Chain A
Amino acid sequence: MTLLMGGVAYDPKVLTIWDGFRAWLRRQGLDFDYVLYSHYERQVEDLAAGHIHAAWNSPLAWLRSERLAAARGRTVRSAVMRDTDRDLTSVVVVRADSPLASLADLSGRTVGVGAVDSPQATLIPLSFLRRSGAADVRVRRFDVGVGLHGDHIGGERDAARALLAGEVDAACMIDGNHLLFGQEGTLPAGATRILGQTGPYDHCTMAIVDTAPAAEAEEFVRLLESMSYADPEVRPLLDLEGLKQWVPGRTSGFGPLTRAVDETGFYDAAGAVTAREYDP
């Protein structure tokens, strides 16, 4: 039976990546195919409905697929993830000359965040700020790629630019993007200061629904984990997808996002979309 995986086309490279993986997986004997979605919500709905067997999910999509599946009496598992999906952090950044000394000082101030559905640049850091004593924060959202769960870097970059332009008092972004923005010059070296850093959390994961063909699903995970960075055939694909090694999936790193989703009512317990101003 064909194992069918869903992926979200957040960038044209997604086609290159999964076409390449598809060809490689099929050469290893796995009957594998994939479909691409324009946003995560339809992908996880199709996963829970059993229209696809696996979904390459954002962390937010993972949470929703868990809830949607449970509401139908099904289960999904976090089967495999990239080595780079583990232990990420987000940072809250201010201009270097800002008088703000602590996260609590952001009370009443304007904070620039990413898209409404970005775990790393909106949901997790805003939850972190609430718990750090920053009350009545005015949020300025940079909604780029809504429905892509923050996969599109544009919102974070716009927030960083707004920080530099003095339009916001602080900006939230993933740790690696703060480094990237410094290296590419969006944020000149020394122009900003990290005011706070969240605890570590996990990012994407391959969700597999329990109605998937068991043998094919097992083989899929086994083959992904067997991909070696020393293999010149898959190395360019791993580089494009941003990993060195596929590692076993886990759920221990989704706590901060679960808390953020529940605090804001982004999804309800059954997985329905209840977020305001969210229309992917």
Chain B
Amino acid sequence: MSAPLDLGFLGLDQGAHLLIRRALRTVDAGGRITVTGGAPGLGAHLRAWARREGHGFAEVPGRTATWALVRGSAEADRWAGAERAGGAGPDGIVARPPAHWGLAARGSLVEAGGPPTRFEFDDRDVVWADLAPRLYAHAAAAQWDPATAVDWTADAALPADVEAAVVQVMTYLVENEQAALVIPAGLLARVHPHFREVQQLLAVQAADEARHMEVFTRRALLHGSEMGTSSVGGRTSLATLLTEPDFSLASFLLSVLGEGSFLSLLAFLERHAPDPVTAQVTRLARVDEARHVAFGVAHLEHQGSVDPALRGRLRAAIERRHDVLADTAGLNADVFDALVVLAAGAWTPEAIARGHAAVQELQHAMDDGRRQRLARLGFPPDEAAELSALHTRNFM
């Protein structure tokens, strides 16, 4: 018989089971170890512990404070049907992770059984993009603190009507960012956790929008206490985004078309900002939004490469949304006017004409951007132009 495991005065109520388990693992099921120790009640506790764990227990005749344990098969039985949940890295992703893997870390050894979870986006070709891990790392590194990233003291007193235009634009931006937060947050809860980097990216995307809401609100209230207006047309347009249940189509309408258009809008606002704070918050948001657009495009490129029918579905989604919104006003008229005022910079007829022309240029720039991104997804130029024209007048 090999030397007994000496527990000293360590009791089973103080963690002695760790040493005992380690010793038992050195023998096969049916193998025997002996244990000795001076902790009060150790014999009674060993008997109870062994029974609970499925190991044999016996006193050793002629030996004091020494007991024998026979290793049971429970531990081996528990892990007999276990499997690895793919590989840990992105190259270990499987095409269809099973529902019972649930929240298990990718690459972990998963005990067989357990309740199936309901993560309905469980198809690699529907949710995955090879760019996701890199985009997530970039997003995590690019997080900024609203308290310090913006110089809130960089005050520039504006004429009341210009300040009102800024407030109106900020009010509109907050409304749109709220939609842009709710949509990825809703999608990420339906993505199988096996596609960890996609969940992480969507989570950071939602966190980005949370910060955008904060800085736009803070800028709106920097000199006053009242927000601008919210129109039925604008909210109707955003509501159609919230109701899209399909992962790819929701990502397409929000990120590729909506946030894509916002890239032009935010660049416009930064250029025509009448004060430094407005310029800073729109610039910070634009950098984040560019990442959201990049993932949306990359994901749909990947999916388009494996699903030739995708483009038809994307087209149908645009047309469907256009039909629903055909009889609505689209962009809040107050927002349009505020954009003209900001670009005009003065209240002369010439300045207003300049501002109006600048907003028209903005709309052309948005259209150009949408057509380019549609072309990346494989739409021929004429079809891309036709579909871009059907995009909501609310921009997002």
Residues of A within 8 A of B (CB): 83-84, 86-89, 91, 96, 174-176, 178-179, 182-183, 187, 189-190, 193-194, 197, 228-230, 232-233, 235-236, 242, 244-245
Contact = CB atoms under 8 A, between A and B. Distances in A.
29 contacts: A87-B47, A88-B51, A91-B41, A96-B40, A175-B44, A175-B45, A176-B48, A176-B49, A176-B52, A178-B44, A178-B48, A179-B12, A179-B13, A179-B48, A183-B12, A189-B11, A189-B13, A193-B40, A194-B40, A194-B44, A228-B77, A229-B74, A230-B81, A232-B81, A232-B111, A235-B77, A235-B78, A244-B73, A244-B74
A60 B228 CA distance: 77
B41 A230 contact: no
A183 B111 CA distance: 26
Given A194-B40, A232-B81, 10 more contacts: A83-B54, A175-B44, A175-B48, A178-B41, A190-B11, A193-B41, A197-B43, A230-B77, A235-B77, A235-B113
B72 interface: yes
B14 interface: yes
A245 B78 CA distance: 13
A179 B15 CA distance: 11
Given A87-B51, A176-B48, A232-B112, A244 B41 contact: no
B80 interface: yes
B312 interface: no
B70 to A, nearest CB: 12
Most chain A C-beta atoms within 10 Å of own C-beta, residue among B12, B74, B81, B111: B74
B39 to A, nearest CB: 9
Nearest to B55: A244
Contacts of A244: 54, 72-74, 77
Interface in B45-79: 45, 47-49, 51-52, 54, 57, 72-74, 76-78
Interface in B301-322: none
Given A182-B11, A183-B13, A84 B77 contact: no
B47 A89 contact: yes
A187 B41 CA distance: 13
B12 A176 contact: no
Interface residues of B, number: 28
Contacts of A96: 40
A83 B12 CA distance: 21
Contacts of A89: 44, 47
B114 interface: yes
Nearest to A232: B113
A191 to B, nearest CB: 10
Contacts of A175: 44-45, 47-48
B98 to A, nearest CB: 13
Contacts of A187: 13
Q: Across chains A and B, which 10 residue pairs bring their CB atoms closest together, nearest first?
A: A232-B113, A182-B13, A244-B54, A176-B48, A232-B112, A230-B77, A229-B77, A175-B48, A194-B41, A230-B80
Nearest to B81: A232
B45 A178 contact: yes
A88 B13 CA distance: 18
A242 B13 contact: no
A69 to B, nearest CB: 29
Most chain A C-beta atoms within 10 Å of own C-beta, residue among B13, B49, B54, B77: B13
Nearest to B42: A194
Contacts of B45: 175, 178-179, 182
Nearest to A184: B13
A195 to B, nearest CB: 10
B222 to A, nearest CB: 54
B54 A245 contact: yes
Nearest to A90: B44
A197 B42 CA distance: 12
B113 A233 contact: yes
A185 to B, nearest CB: 9
Given A83-B54, A179-B48, A190-B40, A229 B14 contact: no
B54 to A, nearest CB: 4
Most chain A C-beta atoms within 10 Å of own C-beta, residue among B51, B73, B77, B114: B51
A55 B11 CA distance: 38
Interface string B81-102: 1000000000000000000000
Nearest to B12: A179
Given A232-B81, A244-B54, A244-B72, A197 B13 contact: no
A245 B77 CA distance: 11
Interface in B1-33: 11-14
A174 B74 CA distance: 23
Nearest to A182: B13
A153 to B, nearest CB: 14
A84 B74 CA distance: 13
Most chain B C-beta atoms within 10 Å of own C-beta, residue among A89, A193, A197, A230: A230
A38 to B, nearest CB: 27
A232 B40 CA distance: 38
Most chain B C-beta atoms within 10 Å of own C-beta, residue among A84, A193, A228, A232: A232
B108 to A, nearest CB: 16
A179 B14 CA distance: 10
Nearest to A200: B47
Nearest to A188: B13
Nearest to B9: A190
B113 A236 contact: yes
B287 to A, nearest CB: 48
Contacts of B40: 96, 190, 193-194
Interface in B93-125: 111-114
Contacts of B54: 83, 229, 244-245
Contacts of B72: 244
A88 B93 CA distance: 49
